[in-house]
Amino acid sequence: MAKKAKKRITVNAFEKALAKGLPETITIKWEDIDIEIKPTLSFGEMYGFVNGVVSSCIDATTGTYNAEAKDFAIKAMVLENYANFTLPKNPEKSYEMIYRTEAYFKVLDHINPVQFNEICTAIDKKIDYMLQSNVEMATKQINSMLTSMEAIQEQLSSVFGKVSDEDIKNLVNVLINKNVDEGKLMNAFLDAKEHEAVRAPIIG
């Protein structure tokens, strides 16, 4: 006997349920201030929240992770994204406002806890991913550098293997000379190459 197909819930029916769900905004009174709170962020706002916190913690140039900035960044993003707070550009002043008042907790009491917890989880996962990526990139760069050094070593060996001990001695003297410069270094290699050409066997 064929299974009876499940009756699908239509988009229209779901939208009607959405209209009766969490309010788009609520207003609370705090310290004679009207705080407008958006209990649930949109997908784009959620995405921006996560990236904003991550970028505050990880230096884009050096890849350094500043763990001490994460909780501060989350609280600032809550006030600016879930509510209508405007924080000063000076981080020290923002820090003082956040940690010396109850504004953050007042807003936190009225936002969607499921979404906020998922945002915090996403932040941690993205930080872990980026730090791991930085480690892997650094490892690749080191391996590439070692490979290049091995190639250079082989090239130098092929050159020095065809010159006399006196030629190598002269080159070393240039390298350790206190007045060594790029010109002398280049001349030393050119001299070594010249000696190699002179000593090349003549086939005839």
Identify which has the larger pLDDT, 150 or 25.
Answer: 25
Element of type H or E holding 33: strand 33-37
No. of H helices and E strands in the chain? 8, 2
Looking at mean pLDDT, say which of 13-17, 82-86, 187-191, 198-202 comes out highest: 82-86
- Assess contact for 110 and 28: CB atoms under 8 A: yes
Average pLDDT estimate for 46-70 = 90
Rounded to a whole number of angstroms, the CA Rg of the chain reads 33
Q: Which residue has the tokens 């000593």?
A: 199
* pLDDT value for 149: 62
Average pLDDT estimate for 162-186 = 57
pLDDT confidence band for 20 (50 / 70 / 90): confident
* pLDDT value for 196: 45
* pLDDT value for 141: 64
Amino acid identity of 92? E
Pick from 123, 115, 106: which is nearest to 71 by CA? 123
* pLDDT value for 167: 61
Every domain of the chain and the residues it spans: 21-139, 161-204
Say if residue 191's pLDDT is above 50: no
d(C-alpha 11, C-alpha 199), whole Å: 86
* pLDDT value for 15: 80
pTM for the model? 0.63
pLDDT confidence band for 19 (50 / 70 / 90): confident
Q: What is the DSSP string of 65-96?
A: B-GGGHHHHHHHHIIIIIB-----S-HHHHHH
d(C-alpha 92, C-alpha 176), whole Å: 51
pLDDT confidence band for 63 (50 / 70 / 90): confident
Q: Enter the tokens of residue 3.
A: 């299974």
Proportion of the chain in helix, strand, coil states, percent, rounded to 5: 65, 5, 30
Residues forming a β-bridge with 26: 37
pLDDT confidence band for 164 (50 / 70 / 90): low
